[in-house]
Amino acid sequence: MIVLYYPRLTKPKNRRFPLSVLALAAVLEGRETYEIVDGNLEPDPDAAIRALCRNHRVELLAVSVMPGPQMVSAMHSCQTIRSEFPRVPIVWGGYFPSLYRDAALNASYVDFAVRGQGEITLLELIEGLRGKREFSTVAGLSYKSSDGSHRHNGERAMLGPDAFPWSPFHRLDVDKYLRPSYFGRRTAAHQASIGCPFQCRFCAIGVAFGNREKMESPARTEAILRHLVDSYGIDGVQFYDMNFFMREDHTVELMERLAPLGLRWWCEGRIDIVSRYSTATLKAIRKAGCTMIFYGAESGSDWVLREMNKGITTDETLEVAVRMAETGIIPEFSFVIGNPGDPRRDTRETISFIRRIKRLNPASEIILQHYTPVPQPKTMYGNVDGKVTFPSTPEGWATKKWFDFTVRVNPSMPWMKNSTRRLIDNFETVLACRWPTVQDIQAPEWSRKLLKLLGAWRYALRFYFFPFELRLAHDFIRLRRPKVESI
Ligand code: B12
């Protein structure tokens, strides 16, 4: 038996489909005996894995590991399972081992690390464990050789979603994943493409998946969602693609297919691509149920965007803000603030820019993140190579300093003065009160009004210093913060 394990990363009420293990389950279905253990659902996932190890011959514990809270859960579970069942091989896959392959393998309880797309690599690893293939022939695999050194095989060429079977949704208790959100009473998650062709110098996606994006055919996206509507009654979806919109003709066909499903949905889009779409296409996107689009706006300074290799301009961001207002889709602009060369200037210019966005389109949702670098094949954004030494073990990544770094909440970066860091956080607090997010569907109207009232004078006077009364009010009301929604 193969055990597919998705360690806990959210509060139970925020759980979503564990897409990575569903994708892996799709290629095991009908071929292998397997079980899915989801730490976001099981009250005691370690006990569930222990029971499987006791009652079956578990050939592999396959663990999906995103940096941050999920890495910490994975570390604890794997320590426990390794000490009780030392003969069960353990593989980690997902963004953590894709980015930090040696740190993953430095753990005594991790035998293999899978980088990038995992379906075929997993099947070939299983063959290797059964002695039917050499591990050295498995592309995308890292492992410990007999002398203890780490072997990193070549990269695996990525296949498009259509190359694989559908996710076996019936293997989950689907009802437990369809949570109420701003997008629907029963909101599902889907990823309709894989990879990203852009090479932004702060992002992890190219590092993990290379520089291509492969789209699912519109017919298949429609068929999967129709199945989820008909069999499970979904009425909303979050699309977790890196770029949901690429070629305009693809988008137009997909919108025609999605419209009859009557779903409300959220997705991630690129500012430059959407700014080039015709008004007719934007209307078709709205008509198909698109309610909110997440955009990486990243900075309010063009010199910063150039350094990031982002490929967008601030003018394009403003244009998208206006066009979204005209179309009736809420834009959710995310910023990565703190250019290492001049963090103060970047912060000040981005704050002014956000104020311009809010004037043009007050419905815009804003997410502010501190820049925390990801190791890159060339140089990291801000030329910070050599200024950051990443931890070399999962235990190192689990310390408070590096946990905060990963979730981008109050990270301590050597180029960032405390006063600038505080300015970002204070501005974020004032902004979140003056413009409370619409995405918290539980917050009563009075609490929104109260926050707006409290935040209004500070926002109007640009007085962001020490907004302790707003923090108190925010904590009391517990309004959701999209950035850290699910920790
Ligand atoms: C959905 C998502 C979330 C969801 C998780 C939803 C859930 N199911 O519970 C939420 C919102 C909770 C989330 C949170 C965070 N996320 Co997140 N998230 C994503 C997102 C958008 C999609 C991931 C996904 O489901 N993909 C679909 C599946 C099919 O793909 P996959 O996970 O890559 O899996 C494939 C391979 O990786 C591999 N694989 C994966 N696991 C395994 C296991 C084995 C054994 C094998 C063999 C292979 C394998 O095979 C799979 C199929 O090919 C990605 C960006 C992206 N589009 O990839 C960011 C992303 C993974 N998140 C990221 C981060 C940083 C976070 C946070 C830690 C920080 C933050 N502030 O965003 C928080 C954690 C805080 C918290 N607890 O909330 C980063 C990770 C890289 C990094 N910089 O460290 C990403 C890449 C975003 C980015 N551009 O920076 N996230």
C-alpha of residue 66 to centroid of ligand 1, in Å: 5
Quick one: pLDDT at residue 410? 82
CB 269 within 8 A of CB 293: yes
Any atom of ligand 1 within 6 Å of the Cβ of 107: no
Q: Is the pLDDT of residue 284 over 90?
A: yes
The alpha carbon of 240 and the centre of ligand 1 are apart by a number of angstroms equal to: 9
440 — pLDDT class (breaks 50, 70, 90): confident
Helices (H), 194-313: 205-209, 218-232, 248-258, 271-276, 279-287, 302-308
Q: Is the CB of 39 under 6 A from ligand 1?
A: no
Q: What is the pLDDT of residues 144-179, one digit of tens each?
A: 998 989 999 999 999 999 999 999 999 999 999 999
φ and ψ at residue 252, rounded to 5 degrees: -60, -45
pLDDT at residue 487 above 50? no
What is residue 12's predicted lDDT score, i.e. its pLDDT? 85
Give CA–CA dist 376/298, Å, rounded: 18
Look at residue 368 and give its three-state secondary structure: strand
Binding site membership of 195 for ligand 1 (Cβ less than 6 Å): no
- Ligand 1: does its nearest atom lie under 6 Å from the Cβ of 114? yes
Identify the structural domains of the chain with CATH numbers, from first to last: 2-142 (3.40.50.2300), 238-484 (3.80.30)
What distance in Å separates the CA atoms of residue 76 and residue 90, rounded to the nearest whole number?
13
Residues 6+ apart with CB under 8 A from 360: 318, 321, 322, 325
Question: Is any ligand 1 atom within 6 A of the Cβ of residue 187?
Answer: no
Phi, psi of 121 (to 5 degrees): -60, -40
- pLDDT for res 271: 98
The pLDDT of residue 444 is above 70: yes
User: Once rounded to an integer, what is the mean pLDDT over residues 308-330?
Assistant: 98
List pLDDT tens digits, range 336-346: 999 999 999 99
Alpha helix ranges (H) inside 43-155: 45-55, 69-84, 95-99, 101-105, 119-129
The mean pLDDT value of the chain amounts to: 95
Spatial separation of the C-alpha atoms in residues 331 and 323, rounded to whole Å: 10
Percent of the residues in the chain that have a pLDDT greater than 70, as a whole number: 98
Give distance in angstroms: CA of 391 to centre of ligand 1.
20
Token pair 């070549």 is found at 154
Question: Residue 29: exposed, middle, or buried by beta-carbon count in 10 A (0-12, 13-18, 19+)?
Answer: middle
Tokens of 98: 């894709």
**Which residues does 11 contact at the CB level (< 8 Å), separation at least 6?**
486, 487
Tell me the Cα Rg of the chain: 23
Note the residue count of the chain. Answer: 487
What percent of the chain stands above pLDDT 90? Answer: 91
Section 383-391 average pLDDT: 94
pLDDT confidence of residue 486: 40
Q: Are 463 and 485 in contact (CB under 8 A)?
A: no
- Residue 58: is its pLDDT beyond 90? yes
Which is it for strands 290-298 and 184-190: parallel, antiparallel or unpaired? unpaired
Residue with CA at minimum distance from ligand 1 atom 7: 16
The SS3 of residue 164 is coil
Q: Of ligand 1's atoms, which has the minimum distance to the CA of residue 18?
A: 8
pLDDT-based confidence at 480, cuts 50/70/90?
low
63 lines ligand 1 (CB under 6 A): yes
Q: Which pLDDT belongs to residue 482?
A: 55
Q: What is the pLDDT of residue 458?
A: 96
| Distant-in-sequence contacts of 216-221, Cβ < 8 A, 24+ apart | 216/160, 216/161, 216/162, 216/192, 217/162, 218/250, 218/253, 218/254, 218/257, 219/257, 220/161, 220/162, 220/166, 221/190, 221/192, 221/254, 221/257, 221/258
How far away, in angstroms, is 475 Cα from ligand 1 center? 27
Do 199 and 206 contact (CB within 8 A), yes or no? yes
Decide if 186 contacts 39 (C-beta within 8 A).
no
The most confident of 46-55, 196-205, 370-379, 409-418, by mean pLDDT = 46-55
Q: Work out which ligand 1 atom sits closest to the CA atom of 4.
A: 45
- Is residue 202 in contact with ligand 1, taking CB distance under 6 Å? no
370 lines ligand 1 (CB under 6 A): no
What whole-number distance in Å separates Cα of residue 316 and Cα of residue 137?
46
Our answer on whether the CB atom of 19 is closer than 6 Å to any ligand 1 atom is yes
Question: For residue 162, what are its two tokens?
Answer: 């259509």
**Distance from residue 95's CA to the centre of ligand 1 (Å):** 6
The pLDDT-based confidence of 473 (bands split at 50, 70, 90) is: confident
- What ligand 1 atom has the least distance to the C-alpha of 369? 71
Helices (H), 233-299: 248-258, 271-276, 279-287
CA of 63, closest atom in ligand 1: 45
Token pair for 144:
């410990």
- Mutating to test ligand 1, I would choose from 240, 267, 372, 481 the residue with most ligand atoms within 8 A of its C-beta, which is 240
Given ligand 1 and candidates 5, 8, 64, 95, which is best to mutate, with the most ligand atoms within 8 Å of its CB?
A: 95
Q: What is the pTM of this model?
A: 0.96
121 in ligand 1 pocket by Cβ < 6 Å? Answer: yes
Ligand 1 neighbour 64 (Cβ under 6 A): yes
Whether 407 lines ligand 1, by a CB cut-off of 6 Å, is: yes
User: For a substitution probing ligand 1, which of 66, 126, 153 has the most ligand atoms within 8 Å of its CB?
Assistant: 66
From the CB of 486, is ligand 1 less than 6 Å away?
Answer: yes
326-379: pLDDT as tens digits:
999 999 999 999 999 999 999 999 999 999 999 999 999 999 999 999 999 889
Calculate how far, in angstroms, residue 205's C-alpha sits from the geometric centre of ligand 1.
10
What is the structure's pLDDT at 483? 55
49 C-beta closer than 6 A to ligand 1: no
Over residues 241-251, the pLDDT tens digits come to 999 999 999 99
* Burial bucket for residue 35 (CB in 10 Å: 0-12, 13-18, 19+): middle
